[in-house]
Chains A and B, each alone.
Chain A
Amino acid sequence: MKRRKFDAKQMPAKIGNELDDRFKLASPVRGLLTKVFPDHWSFLLGEIALFSFIVLLLTGTFLALFFEPSMVHVVYDGSYTPLRGIGMSKAYESTLHISFDVRGGLVIRQMHHWAALLFVASILVHMGRVFFSGAFRKPREANWVIGFILFILAFFEGLMGYSIPDDGLSGTGLRIVHGITESIPLIGSWAAHALFGGEYPGEVIVTRFYILHVLLIPGIMLALIAVHVGLVFAQKHSQWPGPGRTEHNVVGYRMFPNYVSKQGGFFMLVFAVIALMGGLFQINPIWLFGPYEASVVSSGSQPDFYVMFLDGLVRLFPSWELSGFGFTLPAVFWPAVVGMGVAFTVPLLYPFIERRFTKDKAHHNLLERPRDNPTRTAVGAMVTSIWLITTITGANDIVADKFNISLNAMTWGGRIGIVVIPVITFFITRRICLGLQQHDREVLAHGIETGIMRRDANGRFYEVHQPLTSEVDEHGHPKVLEYNGWTVPKKMNRVGALLPAVKGFFKPVELPSETPRREVEGDDRSREEIEAGRR
């Protein structure tokens, strides 16, 4: 029999047919290729978290090839001469080994740490976007909850990650973890004993945190991220209001090629930023901190930024210890355990809390501009202000030092600030939202302020407004437009008063389109007026 000629052109079709015969793929694949995604820059914040997580998995795997999570005592004999001959744990020694004696180890270690910071930071910002735009409302409450659990897991994942090198700084952090655990009423000392496997610091905590850090928590996170992204996919992304956009459709571009190419490019960019930071910016130089010794601490002992709010709370809380009947309720229990508990549960339940107040049971696929929900925005701003105050307080010794402020003044400032500032923030934010709302309505009714002053026959001065519609009501006034939930143009250049910018750096790439600039005498004058208005 004559062997059929191999036809490369037919191969893709052939493979496609063979696959479809077995898996019946044609229709689902088409659905995937043409799935429509709405577009907005703020929808990419969560992607940064996803991409950093991938970088964390990659770099973490490399580190795990060399890191030894053991507290066995060894004497250092590596390349870093200042620490030679000093006793330390195996964990610290192997971290030094990665930093100095593994080819490319330091860059991977620093990328891992920078990626971790970027991961948590992008989660926070992404969460802010979802919160302030109301994207967590029905039907997306479950995804908010999953996302927030991911944040909590990221928090502990990071905390454990910077604890396991067992350097001077991370040991100080562990001591605080121990002190906080100890403060829990009734079971505190038993819980701390169980966690550390005996008296602090014991010999197992690094090993235990390590297995949680590399297996258990990332495993749960991976599963939750899959559900998180899967739900976004299944429920279809929410979108900002705009012309043609309703609660029942998605306006945007197709997954292939537009969305996927943007995602792919963006992933490379995020990865690039992490690589550059890992190579160029030093982070956590553990060799400068020395091995952990219980008697040694330095000033400026800060945790990673996302833990600083907790440290700040602990710094601010007054020395209110309760004791009686032979028992003690340590002061640190309130800010550390109760504070953390509140910080990790109230936001988790926020969609349900808000719904209890608004009694809103409708589906929401259109996002809300922050100004259109002043109370929620004010609550968000208030929480942000609390977070900022506590986070800054978490570094108040540094602030006091750099700005030459008394340390005690910083503490008192924080104590008073955390009571007063959130309340003020709430009311100011609310007023700003209402003001912005009002201004939107004003522009829709009267048009854009052009900055052109005219004087009428009576001698009265008035500003010329550019109406947003050419339709007029029965009195000949421009019609009052209805607010539709999206941006109202408030500057003349938003409605095309400016000529398009000429592209090109040294010389124009293309000559600007021939806009008839000076055709008619009257047209010419109105153009000049508008340009005068923008100067």
Chain B
Amino acid sequence: MSAAHHDSSAAEPVDVTDGKLTKFDIVKEGLRRDGIEILHYEPAFPVPGTKAEKRIERFIALCFTVAGLGALGFVAVFAFWPWEYEFAELGTAESWSKWYTPMLGLTLGLALAGLGIGILTWSKKLLPVEELVQERHDGGSAQEDRIITGATLSNVVDETGIKRRPLLKRALLFGAAPLGLAAIAPLGTLITPPGDDLVTTGFSPAKNHGEPVRLMLKDGTLVRPDMVSVGGQITVFPAIPGGATNEYADSPTLLIHLRQEDADKARANAYDMYKGAMWGNYIAYSKICTHIGCPASLYEQQTNRLLCPCHQSQFLITDNAKPVFGPATRHLPQLPLAVNEDGVFYAVSDFLVPIGPAFWERG
């Protein structure tokens, strides 16, 4: 290996202006001068025009033709295929437009694949088969170069005189460091105090001119007891402007009408702060999972469990919605319920503990 390299470097330089040299002779001389040695080099088809060569040529030509046709097809489909979307129930659509996207992908894919396969076949089958060796020159510079560059660098430092002018050094530091601060200071605009955002919801009377907040459905209908059948559950929102929108993303609440025996259990298990929070057999829990805030909305009637589909925390609704499985650590806060003289549910107060995932100041 290395012996072969010595041979080539030892050879006399060839005069490339010599008119008798072939083009490939000059290429070889260039390789030699660049420290590249040809180990193996042969044309893919030493005898031109064989059947096999022609066959490959035809195949490549076919690929490029397919590519061209595919590309034209893409343009044609793009421009002339009916593309306007028509809605139809799944499986009933009769329109051509539903094939628009697949046709675009198909034609474009065909065009690109034809081009790709053609080029690759050309490369692998028609280009000369070759193997070359090139020297690596890694492992760093020569020691002398390092010394010279190092001296030059440290000379630059000396020339600025920063080493023997400590006053300038300190002054520069004082001048530049605050500039760095100034550069990041505008980002401070992003920081705003969270205030009580994390501990209040739309059910806080403060959001309703001090009046207790009534419960509503997403469409604004006020919630009455007869709207939930026994064993059923609905999602309710604070009946304030925008109460069902993402502006009050912390407020969605599950209102559950428990069966008698479950309601008894829930009442018996209730934590002290939740004594009397139920209204009849109705109980309301925050829908926002105490793990990381997905809506814990899958209600399994048989086991009285609420499941959060994001990370599978499970909460037992007959026992303060305390977590019984999965990564959640805290129970779902309960909303103290009552019904007013109009027969409409309202929240006696906001949730008694912060809803949703835990955070540092929560305590």
Binding site for B on A (CB under 8 A): 30-31, 34-36, 73, 79-82, 87, 100-101, 103-104, 106-107, 110-111, 139, 171-172, 175-176, 178-180, 182-190, 192-195, 197-201, 235-236, 244, 246-254, 257-258, 261-262, 264-269, 271-273, 275-280, 292-301, 311, 314-321, 323, 326-332, 335-336, 363, 365, 396-397, 407-408, 411, 509-510
Q: In the complex the two chains form, is A176's CB within 8 Å of B363's CB?
A: no
> Whole-angstrom distance from the CB of A339 to the nearest CB of chain B?
12
Q: In the complex the two chains form, is A258's CB within 8 Å of B39's CB?
A: no
**CA A276 – CA B107 in complex, angstroms?**
8
> Whole-angstrom distance from the CB of B108 to the nearest CB of chain A?
4
Given A254-B132, A293-B246: A198 in contact with B197 (beta carbons within 8 A): yes
Could you list 14 further interchain pairs (A-B, Cβ under 8 angstroms) beyond the known A106-B101, A236-B136, A253-B130? A103-B83, A107-B108, A179-B293, A186-B360, A187-B360, A189-B194, A200-B293, A246-B2, A249-B135, A268-B112, A268-B116, A301-B310, A319-B326, A332-B357
> Whole-angstrom distance from the CB of B337 to the nearest CB of chain A?
18
Given A188-B359, A265-B120, A315-B311: A176 in contact with B294 (beta carbons within 8 A): yes
Q: Does B131 contact A (CB under 8 A)?
A: yes
**CA A230 – CA B177 in complex, angstroms?**
33
Given A182-B357, A244-B133, A331-B329: A34 in contact with B109 (beta carbons within 8 A): no
Q: In the complex the two chains form, is A265's CB within 8 Å of B190's CB?
A: no
Q: Does B105 contact A (CB under 8 A)?
A: yes
**CA A101 – CA B310 in complex, angstroms?**
32
- Tell me which of A36, A172, A275, A294 contacts B133 (CB under 8 A): A36
Most buried by A among B52, B127, B194, B246: B246
Q: In the complex the two chains form, is B52's CB within 8 Å of A509's CB?
A: yes
Q: In the complex the two chains form, is B134's CB within 8 Å of A36's CB?
A: yes
- Tell me which of B106, B298, B327 contacts A319 (CB under 8 A): B327
> Whole-angstrom distance from the CB of A282 to the nearest CB of chain B?
9
- Tell me which of B51, B105, B118, B136 contacts A250 (CB under 8 A): B136
- Tell me which of A252, A269, A298, A329 contacts B113 (CB under 8 A): A269
A-B contact count (CB 8 A): 306
What residues on A are CB-neighbors of B135 within 8 Å?
248-249
Q: In the complex the two chains form, is A265's CB within 8 Å of B119's CB?
A: yes
Q: In the complex the two chains form, is B293's CB within 8 Å of A176's CB?
A: yes
**CA A185 – CA B358 in complex, angstroms?**
10
Q: In the complex the two chains form, is B357's CB within 8 Å of A183's CB?
A: yes
Contact-residue size bin, chain B (C-beta under 8 Å from the other chain): 35 or more
> Whole-angstrom distance from the CB of A361 to the nearest CB of chain B?
12
Q: In the complex the two chains form, is A193's CB within 8 Å of B194's CB?
A: yes
- Tell me which of B102, B250, B325, B327 contacts A199 (CB under 8 A): B250
> Whole-angstrom distance from the CB of A509 to the nearest CB of chain B?
5
8 Å CB interface, B330-363 against A = 330, 356-363
Q: In the complex the two chains form, is B193's CB within 8 Å of A190's CB?
A: yes
Q: In the complex the two chains form, is A251's CB within 8 Å of B312's CB?
A: no
